[in-house]
């Protein structure tokens, strides 16, 4: 069974999360980072999204420059999956996931390119109550 958690970022800086199950989730399989997706495929009529990244079921991030669906241990200076180091030029070996969406991907990040007629149902911010 294929299912993804979609994290949709809007132009206002707000995010929306949606769980995507089997029939709709199959439409995302094989898409790569940077590809455009019609909103009708994921349940948002009139919208257009761009795939900006994601992570697999173990939490390894997807990288645009790693082709395919497999995990790879890359030697990288900066970018996705790395923290900033104080020294310049320090390379780090990190495990990352490829740039293609496959069934073991758990989260897919999307960015809104074109808005539809209806606004996205972004939940209101919940404030925590102070305990005494």
CA–CA dist 101, 30 (Å, integer): 5
List the domain boundaries for the chain.
Answer: 4-114
Q: E strands of 1-132, at which residues?
A: 4-9, 15-20, 36-38, 48-56, 71-76, 92-97, 105-114
The band of 126, judged by pLDDT with boundaries at 50, 70 and 90, is low
CA–CA dist 42, 63 (Å, integer): 22
Paired tokens of 30? 């094989």
What are 64-122's pLDDT values in tens digits?
A: 999 999 999 999 888 887 877 778 888 889 999 999 999 999 999 999 998 888 888 77
CA–CA dist 110, 73 (Å, integer): 25
Adjacent-strand bridge partners of 111: 9, 50
Percent of the chain with pLDDT over 70: 95
**Residue (of 80, 116, 107) closest to 19 by Cα position:** 107
pLDDT for residue 60 is more than 90:
yes
pLDDT for residue 132 is more than 70:
no
Neighbouring C-alpha atoms within 13 Å toward the C-beta of 34: 7
Position 56 scores a pLDDT of 93
The band of 44, judged by pLDDT with boundaries at 50, 70 and 90, is confident
Distances (CA, A) of 120 to 14, 44, 63, 130: 10, 8, 27, 30
């Amino acid at each position: 069974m294929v299912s993804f958690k979609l994290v949709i970022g809007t132009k206002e800086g707000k995010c929306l999360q949606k769980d995507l199950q089997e029939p709709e989730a199959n439409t995302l399989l094989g898409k790569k980072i940077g590809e455009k997706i019609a909103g009708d495929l994921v349940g948002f009529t009139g919208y257009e999204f761009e795939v900006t990244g994601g992570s697999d079921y173990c939490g390894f991030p997807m990288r645009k420059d790693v082709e395919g669906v497999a995990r790879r241990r890359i030697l990288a200076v900066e970018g996705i999956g790395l923290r900033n180091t104080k020294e310049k030029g320090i390379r780090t070996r990190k495990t990352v996931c490829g740039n293609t969406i496959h069934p073991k991907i758990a989260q897919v990040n999307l960015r809104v390119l074109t808005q539809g007629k209806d606004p996205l149902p972004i939940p209101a911010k919940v404030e925590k109550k102070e305990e005494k």
